[in-house]
Amino acid sequence: MEAHLTIAIYFIYVCLVLIGIGIALLFFMKIRHIRIQRKKEFYLQKHQDYFKFIQLHLNGVSALPLPPGSLTKLERRVIQEKSIEWIEQLKGDLREKLITLCQDAGFVQDDIKLLDSLFYGRRIAAAYRLGGMRSAEAVPRLLSMMEQEKYSALTIVLARAISKSAERGDQLKEMLHHLLRHGKPIHNMAADIIMETRLDASRILVKLLEDENSDFVKVALAAMWGQAIPEVVPALDRLVVAEEKDVRAEAVKLYLSSNPVLKDETIRDLMSDSDWEVRATVAKSLGTMHAAGSIPLLRTALQDANWWVRNNSAESLALLGETGFEVLCQIAKHGSGVEREIALYHIERTMLQDGDHQKLDQMVAYNKKKLLYERYFGVSESTKVRQVAAVGGDYTA
């Protein structure tokens, strides 16, 4: 018992000491933080005129100077942070001028020196700022840092810094290699990172699409969303029939979004693809393509095992004029199970959506559909709210 008691008493002492240290540390950190915060605010106020000067003369021809007078370390940091904020928001010549300012003011040099710091925290902070300043000079160093990193959230910080700063396409490729070597399927993230580049993105994407590394291809496909790049269409043509499922699905989606002319045969093949994403995408695009022969295909697809395929098919049918709409009505009336569900939903949606039609042709189209609707379901205008019973399981969406 005595021995236990002695241990317990020692434990109490240790606790007391640790608590004391903890409290002291807490107050120290809090007060220091508040002090720095106040000083930063003061400097921001002090240099308000200078910041206005910079923003007014970004257009000018001459290089931007630092404010007159000597600057403290913290003052320089405040100015640097403000510049980085502008760099992040702007593009074009004005951004280049700010980048030059950071270069001339020595901010870049300071941070490159910090990359050698013993403290990991300082190194990563410096890397982040160098990315903010788009420092091409720092890229080789950053790449080697990334090579040594284990995968964590901070790998992405480094990757972004490199992507922002890189001046050559191969640097971007090397960055991607380091980012993806951990085997995580982070293609969307990588695509977002790669699109931060200052270089001509379309050329890089074309190169990535032609790469034999399928990860690079996936990144490029993801990155191309929302970018209309005509140069990539030939590469897409090849990828539409790619072996790998994900690649094929993405490629088909992109390919269809460029509104190509498809042969009936191709459509049929795609609609019976083993991957539901492909089928769903094709079903969706059929609604706007007005290809003959798509209606029977969509009709069959209403029974697809996947919800998205069914949903997109019904949506497309509703878009395909009276004939398409009538198919929906027929199924809603005479069909059963899942296909009836989806058809009903889209019929009601169409009737609701087309309610306010401003243009004449829209009104004509709507009235035709309405006529069909009434023929199948009667004139009752009071919307029936159907109850959905929880029966059956549908695990596809």
Site for other proteins in 181-220 (CB under 8 A): 184-186, 188-189, 191-192, 195-196
CB of 37 to other proteins, least distance (A): 7
Nearer to other proteins, 121 or 296 (CB): 121
**Is the CB of residue 97 less than 8 Å from the CB of residue 62?**
no
Alpha-carbon Rg for the chain, nearest whole angstrom, is 31
Q: How far is 131 from 176, CA to CA, in rounded Å?
A: 16
Q: How far is 86 from 139, CA to CA, in rounded Å?
A: 21
Judged by CB under 8 A, how many residues of this single chain contact other proteins? 97
Counting every residue, how long is the chain? 397
**Is the CB of residue 196 less than 8 Å from the CB of residue 223?**
no
CB of 79 to other proteins, least distance (A): 13
In this chain, which stretch among 55-63, 230-238, 274-282, 360-368 interacts with other proteins, using CB under 8 A? 55-63
391 lies in the binding site for other proteins (CB under 8 A): yes
168 lies in the binding site for other proteins (CB under 8 A): no
Q: How far is 227 from 229, CA to CA, in rounded Å?
A: 6
Site for other proteins in 286-325 (CB under 8 A): 307, 311
The token duo for 188 is 């969307």
CB of 287 to other proteins, least distance (A): 15
Please, what is the Cα angle at 247 between 244 and 248, to 5 degrees?
80
Site for other proteins in 62-101 (CB under 8 A): 62, 65, 67-69, 82, 85-86, 88-95
* Residue 234, CA distances (Å) to 219, 229, 251 in order: 17, 11, 11
352 lies in the binding site for other proteins (CB under 8 A): yes
CB of 265 to other proteins, least distance (A): 29
Encode 357-384: b = buried (16+ Cβ within 10 Å), e = exposed. Answer: eeeeeeeebbeebeebbeebbeeeeeee
| Of positions 229, 316, 341, 372, contacts other proteins by CB under 8 A | 341
297 φ, ψ (degrees, to nearest 5)? -60, -45
| Of positions 101, 309, 347, 372, contacts other proteins by CB under 8 A | 347
337 lies in the binding site for other proteins (CB under 8 A): no
| Of positions 73, 121, 261, 359, contacts other proteins by CB under 8 A | 121
* Residue type for position 273: D
Binding mask 7-46 for other proteins (x = CB under 8 A): -xx-xx--xx-xx--xx-xxx-xxx-xx--x---------
Three-state secondary structure call for residue 393: coil
CB of 264 to other proteins, least distance (A): 28
| Of positions 41, 170, 225, 233, contacts other proteins by CB under 8 A | 225
